[in-house]
Chain A
Amino acid sequence: MRPLIAQLRAEVTMVATNGETLFLTLGIPVVFLLFFATVHVLPTGVDHPVDFLVPGILALAVMATSMTALSIGTGFERGYGVLKRLGSTPLGRPRLLGAKILAVLGIELVQAGVLIAVGALLGWHPGGPGGSACIGWAVVAMALGTLAFGGFGLVLAGVLKPLVNLAVVNALFVILLLLGGMLVPLDKLPSWLADISKVLPAAALADALHAALGQGVPPTASDWVVLVIWAVAAPVVAARTFRWE
């Protein structure tokens, strides 16, 4: 237990003291929420843009932490020989992985708390005006999204050089942010682009959160199918392709 707790503390410390990671995981989501809830330039299709924005930006926050930050950090740890060095300590891979997962979940909790608080200040009503949100479904969807994005990020961190990985993961972050139904509803995209997006975990997570937290209804079956497939496949591929050196 002591190694796991120490490792978890170190992982959290590194995130909390890294300006770029904080900007990515907290700065960007909060700024986007504040900006687009105040300046109505997005075709959100609802009377109160904040009702669309909070679930979408929660999905964005999950993606930023579990894919982008985890992948960049792990890639550099491999590049610096940290993972190799840890391989000859009694820490072991399960505890290293466990600490990383717990750190990601902890950061996501903080993100969710901050975003929900900011959303509430902006007049967000979970489940829409007068409705009630399906919190449980939202938590399950976010957990699946974390597995999917985390696995995908680790695949990239395992096969790409650290600097290439940094560029690729950041580019993916921007692309998925635009095409993932997080800021712009999928039905505003050209249909061929929307069809591509629908099989990606970004859109499935955003759609699931819009359903659970926006309309207060359970996510659709297709959202679950896409999320579950990615949540299983990505970690499996990550385990197969990951290099510790």
Chain B
Amino acid sequence: MHDAHTAGSTTGPDFDAGPAVECQAVTIRYGTTTAVDGLSFQAARGEVVALLGPNGAGKTSTVEALEGYRPVQGGSVRVLGLDPRADHTALVARIGVMLQKGGVYPTLTPVQVLHLFSAYYPDPEDPDALLDVVGLTRARRTPWRRLSGGEQQRLALALALVGRPEVLFLDEPTAGVDPEGRLIVRDLITAQRDLGRCVLLTTHELGEAERLADRVVIIDHGRLLAEGAPADLAAGSADGSIRFTAEAGLDITGLVTALGAGAQVTEERPGSYRLTLPTTADTPAMVAALAGWLAANGHALGDLRTGQSLEEAYLAITGSRGEPETSDDGSGSHGRRGRGRRSGRRGSRNEQQTGSDGQSRSEVA
């Protein structure tokens, strides 16, 4: 279904070198509620960007502003260099949209609604081939309202893809999708990226962001908290700790003595421990020492993990943020308290962590 024509259309002579999606100090208010507060970020062609944040973080508001559904009260949004509202007619043929829920005639079948949508676009995908790609061939004659949640989501995704969009906006694309369906969705998103298309998706599920996105933009209360590749975000906020589980109530003093000077051990929850290393420590040697001490004392080792997952990074970033600043300058990327790297300025992403960072995170870990 993905032919050379499509790939060529995004890299041809009229290729626009600017970002596919750009939010510049965007502010969106509903009455007195500020949903998006000075948010700035970009997404490029050939890139999958995940907007990650808890419910109510402003993800959907941001995406719907980019889709042209709502006006912004401050800043600007651009998609393919166009204003989503003023240039709506020109833009809709070049974007694909998946709403958070619904959006499909409930009595129509996948084959009917996909053929209908394909007729809206000048150069659509073949609807029947697309049904096969999203795994709906067997359900092709089942009315939408009788499809499972996962099938409805995959149909919504197919509807977003049918016009060969240059930019895809996917609001919670894997919500309610079973594991098998998630694989299909992930493969499709990757294929779209490889065709040079820009994919902006929202999710509150860290695992999905980690697996799907080249870059994650973490927001909460409508503000940018951090931005970067999932691995960089996880590594960047890792504090050099080793986490392990064993039986509750270990002899911590004895363990610390065995591990040597500078090591600290805390039992964060019963049976769940964090081993903080001195900055000069050799992690493999510490793991060996820990395992040796457990063996010598007859304790079984449960989970053992060094470094940090995106989940821990995310919780650290959203959890330790504290109350929103009152002296905000509106850009959403300056003036944040604490770690400089979460300002989202590219190039500062791989900044080394200092010891005090580890301290501040331990409050929320």
Q: How does the 8 Å CB contact mask read for B307-334 relative to A, with 1 for contact and 0 for none?
A: 0000000000000000000000000000
A190 on the B face (CB < 8 A): no
Complex interface: chain B residues within 8 A of A17 (CB): 107
Report B-chain residues with C-beta under 8 Å of the C-beta of A5.
119
Kindly provide the distance from the CB of B69 to the nearest chain A CB, expressed in whole angstroms: 7
* Contact A82/B103 with A6-B119, A90-B120 known, Cβ cut-off 8 Å: yes
Alpha-carbon gap, A84 to B68, bound state (A): 11
> Interface range on chain B: under 10, 10 to 19, 20 to 34, or 35 or more?
20 to 34
For residue B106, which residues in chain A have a CB less than 8 angstroms away from its CB?
Answer: 76, 80
The segment from B43-51, B92-100, B282-290 found at the interface with A is B92-100
Is A97 an interface position by the 8 A CB rule?
no
Tell me if B69 and A90 are in contact (CB < 8 A).
Answer: no
Establish whether residues B120 and A80, one from each chain, have CB atoms under 8 Å apart when the complex forms. Answer: no
B108 and A88: CB pair below 8 A?
no
The answer to whether the Cβ of A18 comes within 8 Å of any Cβ in the partner chain is yes
Given contacts A80-B106, A85-B104, contact A10 B116 (CB under 8 A): yes
Which of the four size classes fits the interface of chain A?
20 to 34
Please state if A88 and B92 are interface contacts (CB–CB under 8 Å). Answer: yes
- Min CB distance, A50 to chain B, in Å? 35
Which of A7, A14, A18, A81 meets B103, CB within 8 Å? Answer: A81
Contact B89 A80 (CB under 8 A): no
A243 to chain B, nearest CB (A): 12
Residue B112 CB within 8 A of the other chain: yes
Contact indicator per residue, chain A 69-86, by CB within 8 Å of chain B (1) or not (0) = 000000011001110110
B115 at the interface (CB under 8 A from A): yes
Most buried by A among B69, B101, B116: B116
Closest Cβ of chain A to B279, distance in Å, is 51
Nearest Cβ in chain A — how far from B176, in angstroms? Answer: 15
Contact of B107 among A7, A14, A88, A89 (CB under 8 A): A14
Query: Are A85 and B99 touching (Cβ within 8 A)?
Result: yes
Tell me if A3 and B102 are in contact (CB < 8 A): no
Residue in chain B with minimal CB distance to A89: B120
Q: Which of A1-44 contact B (CB under 8 A)?
A: 2-3, 5-7, 9-10, 13-14, 17-18
**Are B69 and A81 touching (Cβ within 8 A)?**
no
A80 touches B116 (CB 8 A): no
A87 within 8 A of B: yes
* Cβ of B293 under 8 Å from chain A: no
Binary A-proximity of B100-132 (CB < 8 A = 1, otherwise 0): 011111111000110111011110000000000
A18 contacts B68, C-beta separation under 8 Å: no
Q: Does B227 contact A (CB under 8 A)?
A: no
Which of B69, B102, B104, B115 contacts A88 (CB under 8 A)?
A: B69
Beta-carbon contact of B115 and A6 below 8 Å: yes
A160 contacts across to B, CB distance below 8 A? none
Q: Is the CB of B107 within 8 A of A18?
A: yes
**Per-residue 0/1 for A103-122: is the Cβ within 8 Å of any B Cβ (1 yes, 0 no)?**
00000000000000000000
Is A123 in the interface zone, CB < 8 Å from B? no
Q: Does A91 contact B (CB under 8 A)?
A: yes
**Residue ID in chain A nearest B93 by CB atoms:** A90
A5 to B89, CA, bound (A): 19
For residue B113, which residues in chain A have a CB less than 8 angstroms away from its CB? 10
- Residue contact A6 to B116, C-beta cutoff 8 Å: yes
A90 neighbours in B (Cβ, 8 Å): 89, 92-93, 120-122, 163
Contacts of A88 in B (CB 8 A): 67-69, 92, 95, 97
A92 and B89 contact, CB distance less than 8 A? yes
A10 touches B121 (CB 8 A): no
Q: How far is the CA of A109 from the CA of B326 in the complex (A)?
A: 65
Is A77 in contact with B67, judged by CB distance below 8 angstroms? no
Contact partner of A91 (CB less than 8 A), chosen from B97, B112, B120, is: B120
How many Å from the CB of A13 to the closest CB on chain B?
Answer: 7
Contact of B104 among A7, A14, A80, A87 (CB under 8 A): A80
User: Which residues on A sit within 8 Å (CB–CB) of B93?
Assistant: 90
Contact status A89-B117, CB under 8 Å: yes
- Kindly list chain B residues whose C-beta atoms are within 8 Å of the C-beta of A6: 115-116, 119-120
Cα separation A75 to B147 with both chains bound (whole Å): 22
A34 to B139, CA, bound (A): 41
CB-based nearest A residue for B103? A85
Least Cβ–Cβ distance between A128 and chain B, in angstroms: 43
- Which A residues are in CB contact (< 8 Å) with B101? 81
Quick check: B89 and A82 within 8 Å, CB to CB?
Answer: no
- For B102, the chain A residues whose CB sits under 8 A away are 80-82, 84-85
19 A-B pairs with C-beta separation under 8 A: A6-B116, A10-B105, A10-B108, A13-B108, A13-B112, A80-B102, A80-B103, A80-B104, A81-B99, A84-B69, A85-B97, A87-B69, A88-B92, A88-B95, A90-B93, A90-B120, A90-B122, A90-B163, A91-B120
Query: A88-B69, A88-B97 are known contacts; what are 10 more A-B pairs with Cβ within 8 Å?
Result: A2-B119, A13-B108, A13-B112, A81-B102, A82-B105, A85-B97, A85-B103, A87-B68, A90-B121, A91-B120
A residues with a Cβ closer than 8 A to B are: 2-3, 5-7, 9-10, 13-14, 17-18, 76-77, 80-82, 84-85, 87-92, 245
The 6 nearest A-B residue pairs measured at CB: A85-B103, A81-B102, A6-B119, A88-B97, A81-B103, A90-B93
